[in-house]
Structure 1
Amino acid sequence: MAAALTAALVAGGLTAATGTATATATADPAPRAVPRHALTGYWHNFDNGSVLLKLRDVSDAYDIIAVAFAESTATPGQIDFSLDRSLGYASEQEFRDDIAAKQAEGVSVVLSVGGANGTVTVNDPASAQAFADSALALMAEYGFDGIDIDLEHGINATYLTQAMEQIHAAVGDDLVYTMAPQTLDMQHTGTEYFQLALNTRDFLTVVNTQYYNSGSMLGCDGQVYSAGSVDFLTALACVQLTGGLAPSQVGLGAPASPSAASSGYVEPAVVVAALDCLTRGTDCGRFVPDRTYPDLRGAMTWSVNWDAADGHTWSGLVGPHVDALP
């Protein structure tokens, strides 16, 4: 997609050099769709003691790879990305080549914004424009298929909606647009994150809520469920499924290993059970949904690096199961 995206953005008035854009670009006439059921994994652009991976070495089980992370600059709303040299890339071109190679295999590669330590402020028209312009410039520069919103320190749904609408207008329906809110951020439709998802649902690919690093939360039945259980995954996903998002826009986020999160780890078999509960009505725990959701998008993990460090145990079980969903 890299060449097609670059051509589209230049047609719309954007170049990586200027970082400015207008929303008149045309989309790739034959966009590569994300699979009906997809496995998403985050890739570390840093060394945190798990395992260092070049993008080319990420397991073939993943359909969407989120490159973590883009960071803020001194300009409000603007983001930038710098390849960490500790990963062993000889050049940025080698990294771009790895992105293109994954895309040639049918994998979408998106740039994730934020993370636990990242703060990007988009709270007025100027910062919304800066976010859109810089995101589009980075997509053109590296060939990313889209953007992942993983801002964990608060967002303004009104202006981030404006920014994402500008990005979608420039790229078209080829845009892969994902989100990874924390559990609390998707507890009800009044949260800023949920509002962002609803505002942009016409072109939103998937919301992979992080069902970890949180305490007990309310399910869609008003009951309290503890993290680290199949009920926590299913009853909380039900909040989104009954709150206005399409089943294809809902994914289950889980840690790839006990080391990947401070709390909320579940065995991969529990993720499989939650997927079956929501899509087939089988293997449920105490919570049983009123209906099934066979179009559920799939699952996400933090991260492909922790997955590799654990011998690909997570993707080895969850990946084939996602592929086999109804």
Structure 2
Amino acid sequence: MRFKFLCQLLFLALTMQIARAQGTVPTFEHSVGHRSYTLVGSDPAKGATTTIPTVLVPITLSFDAKKLDGKPYQMGAGPDVESVLRSPVFSRFAFTSGGTTQYADAMLRTTFPAASEWHTLLAKPEVKPVTITIPVGYGYVLTSRKDGSSFAVVDVNYLQKALFQQVPKQDGKLIIAMTHNTTYYAVNDATVCCSWGAHGVDSSTGNSFVLASYLKHAPGIVEDRDVQPLTQQLAEFINDPLHDPLLDPALQNRGVHFPGNAFPRWMRPATMRPGDQGRCGGTGVASTYFQLEPTDTNRKNNFPASKAYLVQSDDATYHLQNVALLPWYTGNGDGLGSTYSFPDAKALNEPARPCSARGRQTDASAGMPTAAALPLTGAPNGHKLIGYWTGHGAAGAPFPLHEISPQWDVIIVAFASPVKNAPEGTLRFQLPAGLDAAQFKADIALLRKQGKKVMISLGGGGEYFTLAHASSIPNFTSSVSSIVSEYGFDGIDIDFESPSLTIAAGDTDFTHPTTPSIVNLIAGLRQLHDHFGPGFMISLVPEGTQIPSGYPSYGGQFGSYLPITYAIRDILSFIDVQDYNTPPLEGLDGEIYQAGSVDYHAAMTELVLHGFNVGGDPKQFFPPVPADKVAVGFLTGDATPAVVSHAMDYIITGKAPAGASYKLLKPGGYPGMIGAMFWTIDDDRLANYKFSNVIGPQLHSYPTNR
């Protein structure tokens, strides 16, 4: 049965590859060992010149979520066309390798240095502008009050589909579509952010295309400039012209190969930002989801950034993307050069290293902690260290609750998950392998006796949950009640991530929601609270898109937790927004912030503490959440103890650390706020309690918030 399934997948992939190759730009195949790779152009051994007809499509984006003089706000790439035509994308520049030619041609000639009189050139393009409307829920605009610059965050899957509804099939031509000052998120989920575009073959039209942004007068936090995003996506297209960006990258991670070049899993090199080393980049050209180059220094939740290669003409300087060449992915093969990156040959000085099936070159969880957890001292002060527990210890061994550091005040067990092929709304909790149910229940009772709170989290990343029908509410309340009662949990934590909660079209008032899944969830939460009584705890852990993204735009996934937070504000125990699952966002000071900084944590938390105009509409004001119901969410694998410590001190006391640019609207801070949440307690333990041993004592030393 399994063999038959694999054969069907292979046949599907082969059929799709043949279908998409018809009508695309010219390509050739080059073999390295037992693998064959498709690239743009003609066989270098034949020494011919291939000129590719090109259509340049400047896109004007029209945003329903932002108005200017009562009309949708527009950002157009039309004024950027001349700069792109004069750039190395279409004009000849002198490169250290590859000669004086266009960017893509020089890159290919560096890949195959022995090929003489061989070129792959882009013809002077036809220019065909289009306007695309971005509905509420598919993107938003951020504006810097300081310099007036604007930047858009857009669903790349939606944009690609909308683009090729206007651009018909162009046999043998390359479509280069460009937006202005725009970054993109993937798979219709704004937490999967950010990239500079997409490339490959559009499955609906068969068009070969490159979609990217031109950056002009972008906000100061954007490091890349002018045609750098265009050259990145163009280079990736040249090296992988049959890629289909609308196919789910998760399928490729599970070994299902669709059209496009596939490489052995490669490890992100030391050139990438600290914390990325040792992580797998993927099996394709650039990394999965974000299409980051191995030369990039940023990763998820940031604008892509890379040290640019500068070239100059008589009237302009252009920033070009350094990219990995085919030999970097494959190693030196027949006909390939020994240069691993272009245009800067020094950007990558050795070929890719393979990644293990576990996703890292080495198993980072192989050892037990070598440091001791600090004991809890002092009387309770209302400030709490909150953490998620999954039960996974060193080298796959179980991690029982009674071994948790005493610094943790609230332990949230992850997860009770939706049951597939069961009635809608049904959830089930399964103990991690190796743990005994009786001991687990005894551990919960022990922790509660020590004054800890132990909750069960519902949902979790990658799990889809909905209560689309009111008739399903009893399934939800019954299954959750059974879990809580059986194990003795203090309450529930709601972790239904995108796309589980999506605001329906036409639902514009967070105080009176009409989206069935949201309305029914609110009803279910109230029924659970009524059933268990006033001591029953309910917490919310929204992604950044589900609360603070409601400031620039309200609809779809943006702001989807606002109606829930507002509706259960009287029975809400606390809310802790995930400051790690988030695209760039705007603070109350009118400036744009990226995740991972003290400024971001302060700005996004103050949105919740201060309240804000939902979707920028002063008639839709989301009121402040009381400070004693607000915590900040951190990711152990992404944050550092120093940044967390500075952020918590700033938010609670108002004392800004050196280098902070965001100014709290309440200068004295918010001494009543709870504290910090971490995903996960398990990872903190394996990292020698580097967060709990620092942040726990810090929180517990503050004056009481009661």
Q: Following the alignment from structure 1 to structure 2, what is the Cα–Cα distance between the partners of residues 35 and 167?
A: 29
Partner of 1:236: 604
User: Relative to structure 2, which stretch is displaced further, 42-51 or 108-117?
Assistant: 42-51
DSSP 3-state at the match of 2:564: helix
Displacement, 1:111? 0.5
Q: Following the alignment from structure 1 to structure 2, what is the Cα–Cα distance between the partners of residues 317 and 221?
A: 30
Displacement, 1:128? 2.3
Partner of 2:522: 161
Q: Following the alignment from structure 1 to structure 2, what is the Cα–Cα distance between the partners of residues 146 and 310?
A: 28
Displacement, 1:144? 0.6
Q: Which has the higher helix share?
A: 1
1:207 to 550, 575, 578: 575
Task: Give the letter for the 1:228 counterpart.
Answer: G
2:632 to 248, 252, 256: 252
Q: Which has the higher strand share?
A: 2
Q: Identity of paired residues, percent? A: 30
- 8 Å CA contact 2:544, 2:583 repeated in 1: no
Structure 1: gaps (5+ residues): 1-33, 259-264
User: Relative to structure 2, which stretch is displaced further, 293-302 or 121-130?
Assistant: 121-130
Q: Following the alignment from structure 2 to structure 1, what is the Cα–Cα distance between the partners of residues 391 and 628?
A: 28
DSSP 3-state at the match of 1:192: coil
- 8 Å CA contact 1:79, 1:135 repeated in 2: yes
Partner of 1:216: 584
Displacement, 1:216? 1.5
Partner of 2:426: 78
Q: Deviations over 1:228-263 (max 9, x none)?
A: 10011010011111222111111111112x3xxxxx
Q: Following the alignment from structure 1 to structure 2, what is the Cα–Cα distance between the partners of residues 208 and 144?
A: 19
Partner of 1:315: 692
Give the superposed CA RMSD. 1.9
Query: Where does structure 1 differ by over 4 angstroms across 4 or more consecutive aligned residues?
Result: 45-51
Displacement, 1:118? 1.8
Displacement, 1:324? 2.1
Q: Following the alignment from structure 1 to structure 2, what is the Cα–Cα distance between the partners of residues 299 and 251?
A: 5
- 8 Å CA contact 2:547, 2:562 repeated in 1: yes
Partner of 1:198: 566
Relative to 1, partners in 2 of residues 1:126 and 1:222: Cα closer, same or farther, differing over 3 Å? farther
Q: Following the alignment from structure 2 to structure 1, what is the Cα–Cα distance between the partners of residues 662 and 540?
A: 25
Displacement, 1:266? 2.4
- 8 Å CA contact 2:398, 2:432 repeated in 1: no
Q: Deviations over 1:279-314 (max 9, x none)?
A: 211024111211121111110000000000100010
DSSP 3-state at the match of 2:451: coil
Partner of 2:492: 147
DSSP 3-state at the match of 1:300: strand
Displacement, 1:161? 0.8
- 8 Å CA contact 1:177, 1:204 repeated in 2: yes
What is the TM-score normalised by the length of structure 1? 0.82
Mapped pair 1:173 → 2:173: no
Higher relative contact order (CA 8 A, sep 6+): 1
DSSP 3-state at the match of 2:525: helix
Q: Following the alignment from structure 1 to structure 2, what is the Cα–Cα distance between the partners of residues 318 and 42?
A: 15
- 8 Å CA contact 2:392, 2:399 repeated in 1: no
Structure 2: gaps (5+ residues): 1-379, 502-516, 612-622
Partner of 1:11: none
Q: Following the alignment from structure 1 to structure 2, what is the Cα–Cα distance between the partners of residues 35 and 78?
A: 38
Task: Give the letter for the 1:71 counterpart.
Answer: S
Q: Deviations over 1:121-158 (max 9, x none)?
A: 12232222221221111111110110001111232331
Q: Following the alignment from structure 2 to structure 1, what is the Cα–Cα distance between the partners of residues 585 and 575?
A: 18
Relative to 1, partners in 2 of residues 1:126 and 1:221: Cα closer, same or farther, differing over 3 Å? farther
Matches within 5 A, 1:37-116: 37-45=383-391, 52-73=398-419, 74-85=422-433, 88-89=434-435, 91-116=436-461
Displacement, 1:96? 0.5
Q: Following the alignment from structure 2 to structure 1, what is the Cα–Cα distance between the partners of residues 525 and 535?
A: 14
Mapped pair 1:122 → 2:473: no
Aligned residues: 283
